[in-house]
Amino acid sequence: MAWEAGAKVHVRRFTDYADQRNFGLALPFVNEWIVVLDADERMTPELASEIEERIRGADPDDAMYLVRRKDIMMGRWLRRASGYPTWFARVFRRGRVLVTRSVNEEYHADGCIGYLDGHLLHFPFKKGVEWWFDRHNRYSSMEAKLLVEERYSKPLQLNQIVNSDPARRRAVLKQVAYRLPSRPLLVFFYLYVVRLGFLDGRAGLQFALMRFVYEIMIDVKMTAARHEIGMKQCPVHQIDRVGKEYTGQ
C-alpha cells in the first residue's frame, strides 16, 4: 500500500473529478512540480527521465506539460482505433493550474504549456470489459448531464477552434460534435475507417464498437435530460393534457 512505502495518504469524499483534482493539486507538496497518474496509467522510465530533465530546465513561465498515452487492449497498443494522439495534462507547476468540468476534465494553465515526447502506458481494461462498461455507464450519465447544461448556458464559440490552448480547442470541438446527427455512427466510422482502426486487428474493432456503445449511451441520456428540462419548463395544464391523452382519459 502507499502508506507502507512512506507516502502520506489523504482521503476525501468524492464529489466530481475536477474537485478531486483541484483538492489534490492544492495539497502542501514539498516540491514545485507535481506529476499526476490515474490508477490505470503507468510511467515509463523514458518519460520519467524526460520529465526530470524538462522541469530542471523549466522557465519561470512554464506551468504545465502535456503527454500522450498508449492505450493497451488485448496486449497490443491501439495506435489507430483509440484516436491517438490525444494529449493529457499530467505535469503541473504547483499553484499554476485550475481544473474545470466535472467529468472529462479541462486543465487551464496560468503560464506556458509544453509537450513531452514520451508516453504513458494506459491499461483501461485491466479490470475487465465489464468494469469498463460499468465505469463508462457512470461517465455517460455525468457527461450527458453536463453537455445539456453547457448547451443551455454556454454559447458556441467557433473561433476557439484555433485557440492555442488545447483544452479550449477540444471543448469547442466537443460542443460541435455533440450537435451532429448520427454522431455515434460517425465516431465509429472515424475511429475504425478514417483513423485506420481496422489495422489494429480484433482489438481495434472491439474498441471502436465499445466507443460506439458509449456514445449511444451519452446521446440517449442527453435526450432524456432535455426532455426532463422541457417538462419542468412546461406549464402544468399542458402536462395534464399530455397525461390524459396518453392514458386515454
Residues 182 and 212 in one domain: yes
Residues 151 and 108 in one domain: no
Residues 26 and 60 in one domain: yes
User: pLDDT tens, 174-201?
Assistant: 777 777 888 999 999 999 999 999 999 9
Lowest mean pLDDT among 107-111, 114-118, 124-128, 241-245: 241-245
Residues 136 and 238 in one domain: yes
Domain boundary (80, 96, 122) is at 122
Q: How does residue 247 score in pLDDT terms, banded at 50, 70 and 90?
A: very low
Residues 118 and 224 in one domain: no
Residues 146 and 117 in one domain: no
Candidates 5, 7, 11; CA nearest to 23 is 11
Report the distance separating Cα 33 and Cα 96, nearest Å. 10
Domain boundary (61, 93, 122) is at 122
Domain boundary (83, 105, 122) is at 122
- The count of structural domains within the chain is 2
**Range with top average pLDDT, 9-13, 79-83, 100-104, 228-232:** 79-83
pTM of the prediction? 0.83
Range of the domain at 226: 129-247
Residues 97 and 7 in one domain: yes
- The answer on pLDDT for 8 being more than 80 is yes
Residues 117 and 134 in one domain: no
Candidates 144, 139, 136; CA nearest to 222 is 144
Residue 25's region, left for phi above 0, alpha for psi from -120 to 50, else beta, is alpha
Say how many C-beta atoms besides its own lie within 10 A of residue 55's C-beta: 17
**Residue 2, C-beta contacts closer than 8 angstroms, at least 6 positions apart:** 9
CA 93 from centroid of its chain's CA atoms = 21
